[in-house]
Amino acid sequence: MLIKYYLDILTALIPKAVWFLQLYISRYKELLIFIAAFVVLYIFFMHWLNVRFLNRLRQPAALISLAVELAAIAAFTLMFREVGTERQYELEFFWSYKAWIFGKNVELGMEILNNILLFFPLGFVITDALKRCPFWAALLISGCVSGMVEFSQYYFRLGLFEFDDIFNNVLGALIGWCVFHILQRVRGKLN
């Protein structure tokens, strides 16, 4: 009986999730193309074409990749925004999740996904760029970068300062960090 209940919920959620992802992909192709190209090219150049003589170029290339990612974060979050008349903030944790899930606000769901995906490459390249980056350092660095973005949006009246964005950005960076380390282990086992 309990299994049937969960299967019914899953059956109801799958079409909604597919619809949401199709809508997201149709609206944010550029962001998805940037992230996919960035990660695929990074993996290709930094790991599978890493011949011995290219090893010296690895950290400088990683630092350049990090600079590109930080520029992309600035472009997607600060540029091309209209300056508001007043500074706005939302200090309630997970308010956007509540509005998305319970209020059925699809736009907020897309913003949540954007914030997670935008910081994925940061977590992905940070270990190579800094030679070593433990989990806590990735957490701290991504939190600081996200905090600076949110503060800039607040100070320059370019958007809404919210803790949810910081949470989502850090989550995206930590997912990127984890994927990087999983791929490192797989690569190590293949060699």
Straight-line distance from the first to the last Cα atom of the chain, in angstroms, rounded to the nearest whole number: 48
For residue 115, count other CB atoms closer than 10 A to its CB.
Answer: 24
Q: pTM here? A: 0.85
The residue whose two tokens read 């600035």 is 74
**Residue 102 covered by a domain:** yes
18 occurs within a structural domain:
no
Q: Is 117 helix (H, G, I), strand (E, B) or coil?
A: helix
Q: Is residue 75 part of a domain?
A: yes
98 inside domain: yes
Per-residue model confidence (pLDDT) at position 173: 97
Contact of 125 with 69, CB cutoff 8 Å: yes
Q: How many domains does the chain have?
A: 1
Tell whether 24 is covered by a domain. no
| Distance from C-alpha of 26 to C-alpha of 117, rounded to nearest angstrom | 15
The two three-digit tokens of residue 53, written as one number? 């003589």
Residue-level pLDDT at 51: 55
Answer yes or no: is 9 within a domain. no
Structural domain span for residue 145: 30-190
10-residue block means of pLDDT along the chain (191 residues)? 77 82 89 88 73 69 90 89 87 90 86 93 90 92 97 93 97 96 82 67
Identify whether 5 is part of a domain.
no
Report how far apart, in Å, the C-alpha atoms of 99 and of each of 36, 106, 162, 178 are. Answer: 29, 9, 14, 29
CA of 75: how far to CAs of 13, 29, 31, 81, 137, in Å?
Answer: 34, 16, 11, 10, 24
User: Is residue 166 included in any domain, yes or no?
Assistant: yes
